[in-house]
Amino acid sequence: MKPNPIKARALQQIQQQLGHTFASTALLIQALTHRSHSAKNNERFEFVGDSILNYTIAKMLFDAFPKLSEGELSRLRANLVNESVLAELAREMNVGEALFLGTGELKSGGFDRASILADAMEAMFAAVSFDAGFAAAEQVVCRLFAGRVKAVDFKNQGKDNKTVLQEALQSLRFALPKYRIEKQTGEGTDARFEVSCDLGELGFICTAEAGSRKAAEQETAKEAMAWLQQKYPLKKKK
């Protein structure tokens, strides 16, 4: 299957985001192919990718939190390896633009469906391992999840700053925050992102700058949460 120019460009961007250039682009295409599009799809890839992801995140957490017990590490991993996080990561990478979907899925918005995006992420980890070996796939996972592992706060049951802020706003019955890229400069390792976090009806907006969008979003979420706790002190669970 030869992708059209738009898909070809999307596939190129995906490889840049992964930090891996495929020797066999066919593997990447299959990883991004939903069962609604073709019998040669990503379902079996997901099986392998899920195992690669779980092992790699487990090892990252094992190294990052040497004093935590097995149960505590398991809870941290569960908060990082789930459909919601994978879908969020896929959206950051614009994976939806590169998906190969059947007509029905296209019409129903499958390109932004969390389950489809999460499955594609797992399938891509498998595709990298088939293309260049397990170590290459492990490096891709480490690169993509490094910021999230660093942002984990065990006091909040392993939830990152964005998740903690979202749950706090929901508990207070306020709308979810909106994150916007206000400014972007440079490329690759020299890239800088200025991101804002807008709490809407609460009238609070803060900004932060970092080397990646997700890192900047985490910083703004942390600042917004600190403000929210001062204005609406949250009761601590016993």
What the block records as the tokens of 238 is: 């016993």
Does residue 153 carry a catalytic annotation?
no
Residues 120 and 167 placed together within one structural domain of the fold: no
**Model pLDDT, residue 237:** 42
Residues 93 and 117 placed together within one structural domain of the fold: yes
How many of the other CB atoms lie within 10 Å of CB of 191?
A: 13
Question: Does the pLDDT of residue 238 top 50, yes or no?
Answer: no
What is the domain-level CATH number for residue 13? 1.10.1520.10
Mean pLDDT in residue range 167-171: 91
Nearest of 148, 224, 130, 216 to residue 180 by alpha carbon: 216
Query: What are the binding residues for Mg(2+)?
Result: 46, 119, 122
Helix/strand/coil (H, E, C) string of 17-50? Answer: HHCCCCCCHHHHHHHCECCCCCCCCCHHHHHHHH
Question: Has residue 222 been placed in a domain?
Answer: yes
Q: How many domains does the chain have?
A: 2
Question: Has residue 237 been placed in a domain?
Answer: no
Domain residue limits at 167: 162-231
Round the average pLDDT of the chain to a whole number and report it: 89
Of 100, 126, 153, the last residue of a domain is 153
- From 88, 122, 138, 160, active-site residue: 122
Question: Has residue 84 been placed in a domain?
Answer: yes
Question: Does the pLDDT of residue 236 top 60, yes or no?
Answer: no
pTM: 0.68
Question: Does the pLDDT of residue 17 top 60, yes or no?
Answer: yes
Question: Does the pLDDT of residue 109 top 70, yes or no?
Answer: yes
Does residue 50 carry a catalytic annotation?
yes
> For residue 114, what pLDDT band results from cuts at 50, 70 and 90?
confident
Of 95, 130, 153, the last residue of a domain is 153
Question: Does the pLDDT of residue 23 top 80, yes or no?
Answer: yes
